[in-house]
């Protein structure tokens, strides 16, 4: 069934809907663009929560805590690709990926992240993995986990 409501990007719930939409596009396409869009949207959700006057104090506290984890100075040092089953590490990965889009000397401190695909390749190539440091990480379960995390927190604390 198609969503017939007028799409807006005015609230954190709108951004969560956007993340869900981009996640579904990525699952179908495994496109680099769809993955980047989904990661950038997930990265924005906690800031939208904090800036929303209608968000509960409990939800804002969770978002503030998670942003502090995501923004941790020298986060690349604390990003351990072996712990990506944990929400905090998943959030660090999202932030680190988003910071790769920036220019400047700080980028030199960030762990290397690149797109990855499994061999043998079929066309069109499906980018289902991120290479974090020297390890290939299947990215779809991480996207799903983070969307479910924010969805649960938003539903619980509305």
pLDDT at position 100? 67
Residue 126 within a domain: no
Strand order in the sheet with 135-138: 113-116, 129-132, 135-138
pLDDT at residue 43 is higher than 60: yes
Q: How confident is the model at residue 144 (pLDDT cuts 50, 70, 90)?
A: very high
The more confidently predicted of residues 98 and 139 is: 139
Residue 114 within a domain: no
Residue 123 within a domain: no
CB count within 10 Å of CB 86 equals 12
Residue 56 within a domain: yes
Which of 79-83, 107-111, 118-122: highest mean pLDDT? 79-83
Residue 151 within a domain: yes
Q: What's the total number of domains in the chain? A: 1
Are residues 110 and 77 in contact, defined by beta-carbon separation less than 8 angstroms?
A: no
Residue 83 within a domain: yes
Based on the number of CB atoms within 10 Å of its own CB, is 28 exposed (0-12), middle (13-18) or buried (19 or more)?
A: exposed
The more confidently predicted of residues 116 and 146 is: 146
pLDDT > 70 in the chain, percent:
74
Q: How confident is the model at residue 35 (pLDDT cuts 50, 70, 90)?
A: very high
SS3 27: helix
| Rounded Cα–Cα distance for residues 11 and 154 (Å) | 11
pLDDT at residue 76 is higher than 70: no
| Domain span at 87 | 12-108+140-156
Residue 62 within a domain: yes
50-75: pLDDT as tens digits? 999 999 999 999 999 999 988 875 45
| Rounded Cα–Cα distance for residues 157 and 46 (Å) | 13
Residue 67 within a domain: yes
pLDDT at residue 1 is higher than 60: no
């Amino acid at each position: 069934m198609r969503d017939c409501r007028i799409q807006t990007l005015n609230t954190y719930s709108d951004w969560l809907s956007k993340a869900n939409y981009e996640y579904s596009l990525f699952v179908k396409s495994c496109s680099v663009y769809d993955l980047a869009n989904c990661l950038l949207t997930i990265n924005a959700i906690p800031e939208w929560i904090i800036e929303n006057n209608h968000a509960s104090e409990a939800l804002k506290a969770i978002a503030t805590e998670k942003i502090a984890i995501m923004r941790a100075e020298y986060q690349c040092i604390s990003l351990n690709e072996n712990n990506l089953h944990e929400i905090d590490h998943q959030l660090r990965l999202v932030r680190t990926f988003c910071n790769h889009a920036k220019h400047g000397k700080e980028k030199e401190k960030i762990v290397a992240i690149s797109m990855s695909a499994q061999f043998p390749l079929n066309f069109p190539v499906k980018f289902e993995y991120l290479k974090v440091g020297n390890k290939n990480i299947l990215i779809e379960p991480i996207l799903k986990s983070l969307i479910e995390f924010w969805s649960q927190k938003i539903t619980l604390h509305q």
